[in-house]
Chain A
């Protein structure tokens, strides 16, 4: 179980970083999404992995699963979802504006500048 979760986090992170480094907006969006998934799973696992345990401590149950990371992950998921949505819109707008999906779109500012 630990091995499975750990390698999932590793795989997601590796894929996310690879896509981020592609410097094209669509892979960057996907890469960020994968990276935040990895972080969310990681955060979740930080409350220790427990199967079939209630999230509250009672006298009868043999143990409990930590409810706090679950609450944290819920917050983090909502935030990262919003951020991804914003990034998608931004990338689309940049593409329509410049006809290029490269992260370094050429701007007028690059053509000017420099000493005279």
Chain B
């Protein structure tokens, strides 16, 4: 019985309830926002350290024994994801202090942010497949409300597509759970993994696996299901965009990693091929979509899609090295992507636009900001010695070892095109002279700018640290991948002992 597993869920729930209690006090809500996410991040670090020291941590909710009650399980992958959620949440909370207007804060931004983080952490930590669905919905409800906060016209359009597609995905997810329960008669993921091998109907298992793939593929914005993401992610407040970009799609990726390592086997060539194709096409379509865009946040949104492709590639190759690469990629990507969105918001604040052609001259006026942009941008493209280089290096090495030549080719090409996109932003926003037509430049708001630089600088520092200290991070990813490859440990940790 390890109650600390529940802390990363309980703390944001409590913080959300407290901010609701102080509905009228903006100052209190802002304070709770920073303190709550900060404490959550600390609890996540403690969880990661404990998981590193002791292995799997299991908590039986309400003390019901394992296959009957709901369990929360922290293995290294879950703990890593929770830490990343904590970092992103904390950085977003600080960033929001300076960027959100009264209008947004009065309509419940902070309670919704806490609720979103609780949903994300719940999805990372649960060991029960129906409970995973419930946490998905908690996260979705919060994200719907955050997406339309402010109520502008573009937000409405984006939100309708986002909500509809996500509800369809939930419906598929729920039918898949129903089928799985009808086949095996349990919902506990460890128990499912234990019993699915004894099934005599491999065809049905494949159908269920594909249903899960589609449901999580929609959430993760993977290849044929990605179109809701670029339609909606550029519309809300920047702090919200960054939080979504960092965390939401990665919950879908995490669910894919969990389900396809634990319950369904990727040794089945059909499933593996589907995932491989999905990974390659996701990388390509994302980066090609980005090449055609001239709006800062739309470019970044399309790059989320292509990066999701790399993570799925790590899972789909299903060798130890590829899984390490996948986990490493997730760690690198969440931090870099949230940071790029933060920077786009800061530039909007300075220049009053997201359109690349209306921007310019930022290098001349803010050289340090240009440097801060280069760190995550070059890391995203995969230049050494930044974090993205090692993530891509491990994955491509794994691809070569698995002799998946065309995927290696696609991965390298997409890296190059990512660099093209980043250079496009660099030359349009930072390098070229400010266009004379940019007459609507607002008077620069410098209030609390230090807070923005604090979040951006902090995340940039992490990117550099992951790059320079790649070895310890690699060892961590290696352990996490080893746990994923050997589901017996997970099953015994959940069912053994008390069951």
The chain A residues found within 8 Å of chain B, CB to CB, are: 20, 25, 28, 32, 35-36, 38-39, 42-43, 46-48, 68-69, 72, 75-76, 79-80, 82-83, 86-87, 90-91, 93-94, 97-98, 103-105, 107-109, 112-116
Contact = CB atoms under 8 A, between A and B. Distances in A.
Given A42-B175, A91-B160, A104-B157, A112 B355 contact: yes
B177 to A, nearest CB: 7
The interface residues of chain B, by DSSP majority, are classed as: helix
B164 A83 contact: no
Given A20-B168, A36-B167, A93-B151, A75 B157 contact: no
Query: Quick one: which of B134, B148, B178, B182 has the most chain A CB within 10 A?
Result: B178
Contacts of A25: 160
A115 B294 contact: yes
Contacts of A114: 294
Interface residues of B, number: 37
B431 interface: no
Nearest to B154: A107
B160 A108 contact: no
A116 B359 CA distance: 12
B196 interface: no
Interface string B58-70: 0000000000000
Contact of B156 (A36, A39, A93): A93
Contacts, number: 110
Contacts of A90: 144, 148, 156, 159-160, 163
A20 B178 contact: no
Interface string B86-128: 0000000000000000000000000000000000000000000
Contacts of A36: 167, 171
A75 B134 contact: yes
B154 A68 contact: no
B168 A35 contact: yes
B26 interface: no
B14 interface: no
15 contacts: A32-B164, A36-B167, A39-B171, A39-B174, A42-B175, A68-B181, A87-B160, A94-B157, A97-B151, A97-B156, A98-B153, A98-B156, A103-B164, A113-B294, A113-B298
